[in-house]
Amino acid sequence: MTNWIRLRVSEDLVRRWGKIPVVCLSLVLSLCLNLDLLFAASPSLAERVIEHKLANGLTVLMVERHQTPVVSINITFAVGGINEQVGQTGLAHLYEHMAFKGTRIVGTKDYEKEKPILDELARVGTELEHRQREIANKTGGATVEEQATVDALQKRFTDLQALASQYVVGNEVALLYQRHGGVGFNASTGKDLTRYMISLPANRLPLWAAVESDRMASPVLREFYKERGVVMEERRLRNEDSPSGLLFETFTSAAFRAHGYGVPTIGWGSDILSLTPDETEAFFKTHYGPNRATIALVGDLDPKETIALIERTFGKIPAAPQSSARVAVEPDQRGERRVEVEFDAEPSMVIGYHKPGLGHPDDDVFDVIDAVLSDGLTSRLHRRLVREQRLAASVRSDASHPGVRAPNLFIIMATPLAPHTTAEVEAAIYEELERLKREPVSPKELERVINNLDADMVRALRSNSGLASQLAMYQAVAGDWRDILRSRDRVAAVTPADVQRVASQYFTKSNRTVGMLVKKSNGKAIAATQNNGVAQ
């Protein structure tokens, strides 16, 4: 978001929540984000987290850290791409964009005058696109009357957009926070979660509560068509014109035939271009209620005062209806799947195996396998493929692609080092997977896994923003933030026999999907693999 737009504090917000004195705490904020608070990774964390649940279902988690007068906040909704329906993919990601456009109070010069224009714009835009699709699907093209109707709708649509733009105060939500010392204002959408984060001076909590409760209760989808175009351009940049993005999109959709994990979070292009304001608003009302949200606050706060503030602001927002949507279960894969993507780029590859999701005991074993194979310079795949044999320029793995809540994929990604081919790299990877089946991992390797896990936990939780992020995420995906501590103990309990059993059960050819990026030269694809008959 741009920082070079005029700053304006909404008079309505000040009137509703009181005037807030302005101070500059940028230096304090930057210092806070680097605090070395080792207690966060210790068992005392369980005693420091204060939990409160509102009557509407909103979960609030708080940790006091008074070293600096700063609070980091993370709002996480247990909503993502997996909640979308066929034909409406990309809704969760589009709504994340729209949430920055403001409310009936913020982002507008006069909402009472703006609202009828937005309503008419949504109606005309939907009708225009409907008629354009009808003509595109019609043999022989449009009649004179049909084209005249479309032209009239297009003119009306353009005029309404110009009228609506006169009432827009661009990026006012972000600029409110910037003016009051906020940093790290951002959001993200995945298959399982939608997240909003900010760090700001502690005495700005009333401002934050006013803005975010307003965004949760009454977002306004202004500049909808403009932002939809931004999302479509983002899709072209990251998925269609990016070799790695296109490879992963093709690979993942091949691995999942039924479950929503096979759909890119950003959505399919044709779906994005057909999304309407009414559909987006309905998706928000159905899914983004306080009963699906966790707010984690870490920093210089008073728990009693914070709870009272959140009760006053967020407490009056009604809960979203209970979801009745059914999610398809991915059927067992019964044979290897292989896909190729032709692109003018260097060859690369990704291999994936179906595995259980969060809550299954084997999920923790895959975390250990992930660490053994690719965590650090001494990991098995890096040591053999990159350092010793110099087959690959890079190799890494991921134990939960593309989400964590439902059964997902264990994936291994690699880029060959010329003149070696993907076939050579693929064979070497399978040899390492076979080694996991026949040879127990050493005690030294398991010890390194735990040491690295502990170090990662300390790094993740040492800052206010890191701890707030972890608390909200675990609460949303696992149903209990305490899983931060339990997951470490579960991983520590994994044995060499567990690794052998899981590797033997899941790392099979019939459970495997392979994606290859094939380089094109002079309009022809150069075969990246010379032999598919590699180790099984």
Q: Residue 479: phi, psi to the nearest 5?
A: 85, 0
CB 353 within 8 A of CB 511: yes
CATH architecture assignment, domain 337-525: 2-Layer Sandwich (3.30)
| pLDDT higher than threshold 60 for residue 6 | no
Q: What is the 3-state secondary structure (H, E, C) of 281-305?
A: HHHHHHHCCHHHEEEEEEECCCHHH
The model's pLDDT over 157-207, given as tens digits with 9 standing for 90+, comes to: 999 999 999 999 999 999 999 999 999 999 999 999 999 999 999 999 999
Tell me if domain 11-105+181-313 and domain 337-525 are identical in fold. Answer: yes
Which one, of 361, 358, 396, lies nearest residue 375 by Cα? 396
Where do the structural domains in the chain lie, given as residue ranges?
11-105+181-313, 109-167, 337-525
pLDDT at 251: 98
Query: Which CATH number applies to 11-105+181-313?
Result: 3.30.830.10
Total residue length of the chain: 536
> In which band, very low, low, confident or very high, does the pLDDT at 14 lie, cut at 50, 70 and 90?
very low
- Report the distance separating Cα 499 and Cα 441, nearest Å: 8
Return the number of other C-beta atoms located less than 10 Å from residue 377's C-beta: 8
Q: How far apart are CA 464 and CA 455, in angstroms?
A: 17
Count CB neighbours of 109 within 10 A. Answer: 12
Across the chain, mean pLDDT equals 89
463-518: pLDDT as tens digits:
999 999 999 999 999 999 999 889 999 999 999 999 999 999 999 999 999 999 99
